[in-house]
Amino acid sequence: MTQQLESVLVANRGEIAVRVFRTLRRLGIRSVAVYTGADAGARHVRDADEAVRIASYLDIDAVIGAARATNAQAIHPGYGFLAENTAFATACAEAELVFIGPPAAAIEAMGDKIRAKQTVAAAGVPVVPGRDEAGLSDEQLAEAAREVGLPVLLKPSAGGGGKGMRLVRDAAELPDAIASARREAAASFGDDTLLVERFVANPRHIEIQLFADAHGHAVHLGERECSLQRRHQKIIEEAPSPLLDEATRERMGASAVAAAKAVGYVGAGTVEYIVSADRPGEFFFMEMNTRLQVEHPVTELVTGLDLVELQVRVAAGEPLPFDQSAVLLNGHAVEARVYAEDAARGFLPTGGRVLALTEPADVRVDSGLEVGTEVGGSYDPMLAKVIAWGEDRAEALHRLDRGLAAYGLLGVTTNVGFLRALLQHPLVKAGDIDTGLVERALDELTAGSGVPPEALAAAALERMQSLETADADPWAIPDGWRPGTPAWTPWIITPAGSDPVEVRVQGRAASAMVAVGDAVPVHAALNGTTLTYGDRTLAYAFARDGHTLWVGRDGNAWSLTEHERAEGPADQAASGDGVLRSPMPGTVLAVKAAEGDAVTQGQPLVVVEAMKMEHTVTAPISGTVTQLPARTGAQVALDAVLAVIEAAPEAAVEEA
């Protein structure tokens, strides 16, 4: 290297910190981690050669201080947090630390979406029609939206990742959408400036990976298709795109290189484009991410390059070791992001402690998890990435599906089962995708997310098996024993987010009849890992946490809680009661009612935020607010009571 780097601090956490450490270790470079109190036991802390505790990953002075204290020569920002922060890049330069990223001026030019569009447009890069003047007021944004023509996208000028983005189809929705977008943008990026763009019908999200060195050389490494998204955030990415032909790929790549050269770019960067599925030859610049992308592994697998190594070498002053003609794409790669979220409940963030973890061995897994990891609501819900390569797209998709089937995480609800359903969707297999596909097919994709009867049977038998120990009192085992035919033993099991289910067992755990509806003969292995349910023999993973049993199979994981039988209807939750509960653990951002207020069913009452995602909780019934425990700024747990509404008399409801 032109400047020999012997020690690098990674100003990040989780899977990206672990992934950067892997390359640093291979290059013989000492690694330094930073961590907060919430991450004191995290894997990335132990994977580093040295670690320093700081108050926040966003504390620039603390990160710089940690680098100085450990004699680190350079800082790798990963992605998120300070990765695209101009002040941080400047602070590194002032502290004579190598910033493994682009110059501060390039971050500033591309970090502001308004300025970025103006800059690349001047370089001849096509941009989406819209209004991007700085400082647009709410009224001006609404006027601009009407001028551009609905539907439109409201987008924060600062930041990315879908935070603060709103799709508006009706002019009546504009005031609330603008207010919500500003609030989320301010919370995520400290800047509530918005711009408005025309919404492209049937859009596909395709991005170009590029690299530039300090010697005037720049190349692109092909494209990634990132159209499979939920809430404007990517969940499955692939390289190359099944949409583009070679000529379009070269035009987009040349456009991305021109955009980078327009701002004197150095390092790894990604230029994101929106492409109409109906007109694949037409593409528009969306934004440039001045950092390494989450989905960089798919580019690594089809090019054979280590992008983190290239980042380190370019930051050290080395020229790129190849030119554009040497960049060849081999095969196909697909990545799936594993999130702590419940797809069946609108992708609400989840949390918990990792009780058991099995990662597939025949695909690539980038992860910061290990058994015992606490997954909370303080950071992004992405936990890991599973990436597969194949000779062609069909083989890569198949290998990814098998990898996800072998991925087992118990203790935290994840989206792995949903990802497998998405990979099996006919349009995904055919490559006929766009950014709205997941939303349109959501009901179909989550239709099979309930707990299958064989998993409930496995849970009941696991409970009985735990009671059938060698020193157990045989009269205390609830196996329904009696002279003649054994009686049925009922177990009340509640799957997370669902109603209680009665599972009846007749006999011992090793051989029984189990009824979840119809009675089925069941045989359980003595080690509790296999179950023969009727004519099917299935392998399961189990992890118990108090009265809750986690059952896992084929990438799915179900949280099942054992309960006592309710005494009567008064003890059961009514589906139409007036208790307003938090749909996720998080922070109360806004309370839109007061005790004594008359409210109507569906009226927004409380806004809860977790992992930079907002969720508006509405009144389940019409009536009067009699209790309001929710307070702005307060932390709330999953299912915490936010408000209680007393139902209004029918006459009052009709009058209202």
Range in 11-25, 82-96, 181-195, 410-424 the model is least confident about: 181-195
Assess whether pLDDT exceeds 80 at residue 184.
yes
Tokens of 116: 């970025």
Cα 429 from Cα 445, distance rounded (Å) = 14
Tokens of 435: 């950014």
As a three-state string, the secondary structure of 390-440 is ECCHHHHHHHHHHHHHCCEEECCCCCHHHHHHHHCCHHHHHCCCCCCHHHH
Choosing among 3.40.640.10, 3.30.470.20, 3.20.20.330, 3.40.50.10540, the CATH entry for 342-427+444-449 is: 3.30.470.20
Q: What is the pLDDT of residue 305?
A: 98
Among the residues of 125-197, which ranges form H helices? Answer: 138-148, 174-189
The percentage of the chain sitting over the pLDDT mark of 70, rounded to a whole number, equals 91
Angle in degrees, 0-180, between the axes of helices 104-111 and 113-122, rounded to the nearest 10: 100
Mean pLDDT (the chain) is 89
CB-CB contact of 606 with 630 (8 Å): yes
What is the DSSP pairing of strand 374-375 with strand 382-390? Answer: unpaired
- 635 pLDDT tier (thresholds 50, 70, 90): confident
Report the pLDDT averaged over residues 149-162: 85
Name the residue with higher pLDDT: 1 or 434.
434
Cα 217 from Cα 267, distance rounded (Å) = 10
Assess whether pLDDT exceeds 80 at residue 651.
no
Range in 10-14, 168-172, 475-479 the model is least confident about: 475-479
Q: What is the pLDDT of residue 471?
A: 55
Q: What is the pLDDT of residue 565?
A: 43
Report the pLDDT averaged over residues 465-469: 67
Assess whether pLDDT exceeds 70 at residue 302.
yes
Range in 180-189, 361-370, 579-588, 639-648 the model is least confident about: 579-588
Q: What is the pLDDT of residue 199?
A: 84
Q: Which residues contact 513 (CB under 8 A, 6 or more apart)?
A: 505, 506, 507, 519, 520, 521, 522
- Would you tell me how many other CB atoms lie within 10 Å of the CB of residue 285? 23
Domain spanning 574-655: which CATH class is it, in words? mainly beta
Q: What is the pLDDT of residue 485?
A: 66
Assess whether pLDDT exceeds 90 at residue 142.
yes
Tokens of 501: 């289910």
Choosing among 3.30.450.20, 3.30.1490.20, 3.20.20.10, 3.10.450.40, the CATH entry for 129-198 is: 3.30.1490.20
The 10s digit of each residue's pLDDT in 523-545 is: 887 555 788 899 999 999 999 98
Choosing among 3.30.365.10, 3.40.50.300, 3.30.700.30, 3.40.190.10, the CATH entry for 453-563 is: 3.30.700.30
Cα 245 from Cα 280, distance rounded (Å) = 9
- Would you tell me how many other CB atoms lie within 10 Å of the CB of residue 538? 16
Assess whether pLDDT exceeds 60 at residue 297.
yes
CB-CB contact of 561 with 550 (8 Å): no
Please give the C-alpha separations between residue 59 and each of 79, 87, 97, 378, in angstroms, as whole numbers.
Answer: 15, 11, 16, 15
Burial of 22 (0-12, 13-18, 19+ CB in 10 A): middle
Fold (CATH) for 7-100: Rossmann fold (3.40.50)
The percentage of the chain sitting over the pLDDT mark of 90, rounded to a whole number, equals 64
Please give the C-alpha separations between residue 271 and each of 139, 219, 231, 275, 594, in angstroms, as whole numbers.
Answer: 31, 12, 20, 13, 47
Report the pLDDT averaged over residues 178-206: 90
The 10s digit of each residue's pLDDT in 221-265 is: 999 999 999 988 999 999 999 999 999 999 999 999 999 999 999
Assess whether pLDDT exceeds 60 at residue 456.
yes
pTM over 0.85: no
Burial 304-325 (b: 16+ CB within 10 A, else e): ebbbbebbbbbbbebebeeeee
Per domain, the residue ranges of the chain are 7-100, 129-198, 342-427+444-449, 453-563, 574-655
Q: What is the pLDDT of residue 482?
A: 52
For tokens 């509404």, the residue is 645
Determine the residue type at 124: G
Assess whether pLDDT exceeds 50 at residue 569.
no
The 10s digit of each residue's pLDDT in 375-430 is: 988 888 999 999 999 999 999 999 999 999 999 999 999 999 999 999 999 999 99
What 3-state DSSP class applies to 160? coil
As a three-state string, the secondary structure of 239-276 is ECCCCCCHHHHHHHHHHHHHHHHHCCCCEEEEEEEEEE
Report the pLDDT averaged over residues 452-460: 89
Q: What is the pLDDT of residue 309?
A: 98
Backbone phi and psi for residue 217, each to the nearest 5 degrees, phi listed first? -95, 140
